[in-house]
A and B are shown apart, each in its own frame.
Chain A
Amino acid sequence: MASTSETAGTGTSGAVPQPERETRLARALRESVIAAGLTAILGFFFLALRTEIETGGLVLSTRWGLWLAAIGIVFVGRLALNLFVFGRLGATTRRKPATTGAGFPVAKVLTWGLLIFAIVLPFFFTIVFPQRDRQYIDLAILIMTYIMLGWGLNIVVGLAGLLDLGYVAFYAVGAYSFGLSAQYLGFGFWTALPLAGLLAASWGMILGFPVLRLRGDYLAIVTLAFGEIIRVVLLNWTDFTGGPNGVSGIPKPTIFGWELGRRDGSFNDLIGVPYDPIQRFIFLYYIIFGLALLTNFVTMRLRRLPIGRAWEALREDEIACRSLGINTRNTKLSAFSIGAMFAGFAGSFFATRQGFISPESFTFLESAIILAIVVLGGLGSQIGVVIAAIAMIGGIEVLRNLDFLKAIFGPDFEPTQYRMLIFGLAMVIIMVWKPRGLVSTREPTATLREKKRISSDVVAQGEGH
């Protein structure tokens, strides 16, 4: 709670005249005392007291040690920050030029490096970590799914500038299209995949149509509402969707009709390679990798086409778009439905990977995480999404495995429960640190002579400025 920025002095001392030359130490001490005092107030009802459920009703227990420890940590932390971090920042704020010429092509090297790593990733993990390869490849699959979702949402939020808080709805539509078509019609993954994309895109149109007139935050809340509506319907339409029990027994993807497995007539049988469960993980990984690449390829292509330029122009200035003869309704709908289509693909992949889906997987938190990936990565930036997805999703998983902390805090300490707490804090801290996201330059879609990246200072953020 102590990461207040260097402006704290001006904020809190409005009424108290500051001494002429307050030494840095005194100032740091004063602010640390304030921060510690605030912690004492905030923590009193949550750290010092705890309501326990006992037979016969609720009782209060006290944990003074924890409370005092928190106050102490905040005091010391704030003091350290003030003395060693804040003093060094600040003074050097210079406005970056709006275009940055070609220096060392960091982005290019990073992109190619990550791409090559992604291609060899399963083999890398099977060779380097043979004990934990399944776990790591599974994590890579998860991250890749979020990268794909982030790229899909990037079309809507990053390019077209339409704030969508209900993106997970299309992910759910994709997942249930496959789950239900497998259950009722016996569809396999490859048949259901285009269907899922198509259905999600249609839902994008249907939901997009009425909300197109809305601006900014109204759009945000209505998309959030639609997301919740779809989830509630999936939850309660028990006869069709299975309600809270979801859909299970969703088939695994096949290779041209042959399954992976030990049985006769399986793909392994056909090519004469003995089956190993890891093959299934690797196969899934390459499917999602392919889908993500497809998303990226299509997005990059669309950006250079009139439709993509119209999306970005729409984000910059809708009225100017209309004065140039651009049909903004169709342009918005196309962004909405193409974004939704990729979520649909990702959804049907999710269904086949899990083998089981339920409405629980499609809560607002998912939408929030995907949006956070897009914004933290830097709106409109494809590589930014990759970095943010690795950091956020990978980070969550790392936090899941902090068993060594048990050695420090004793066996009762359960690190996994702090996972989302730290995740939320990281979201806040990264955003405060880099409000424009990690990659905050825009690459022009057409160049005459020299390609210059455009600084985000001049790039608009879309709806409801």
Chain B
Amino acid sequence: MKNIWIIAKKDLGSFFSSPVFYSLTSVFLILNGFIFFNILNFFSLQSFQAQQMRGGGMGLNLNEMVIEPSFHNMAVILLLIIPLVTMRSFAEEKKSKTFALLLSSPIHLIEIIVGKFLACMIVIGLMILLSSYSTGYLMLVGNPEMGPVITGYLGILLMTGCYVSMGLFASSLTDNQIIAAVISFGLALFMWIIGWGAQASGSGLGQLLEYLSLITHLEHFLKGLISSSDLVYYLSFILFGLFLTYRVLESSRWR
């Protein structure tokens, strides 16, 4: 546990001392803010119209019309941002030959992987935290239901975990950061849209593809629902990604 934190702390240090983190965070916050503004603007227009027509803005739900689409959009932006956060994890270590330092130290490979996972999660968690001013603003001016907001953040975090574990896997495959980013972006997007194959395939396979899709499971969280099926899916997804990373790194030592 101590070793994991040593690795994570080192990675966090290099994140915060590099311009990559600041540019990624800025882009994330600007896109997120712009989308939030437009969604909110649309909502206020709608409620204004509804008020004029019916004489009362009843039936318009802040959770459904603002928070849920905001989360959806955040998931898309994260899809673009996370590969750029994870790409350096192993690729850079391998390129600059610093991986030998970690490998010749008395720490287990699993601890290295989990440490790097933790560092990426903290970085992205921080980005999400910075963007949560939007939710705070809604709480200030409106009265959203808190349950779906909390489960929404939980869902987004779990989904982030999946992206990160795929990103680490991609980064372990190569010593080129760009290739790592492209592979992890491709993987993440594919796992997002894999459910689209459901229509073309039979009912059995279709259900499976639907279940494998990252986004299907997020829906429940955004509606305020925590189901064990979704939790198991996300957690096993993360573990599987980390396991693949472990296998790749372990086998690369033999070559």
Do A and B come together as binding partners?
A: no
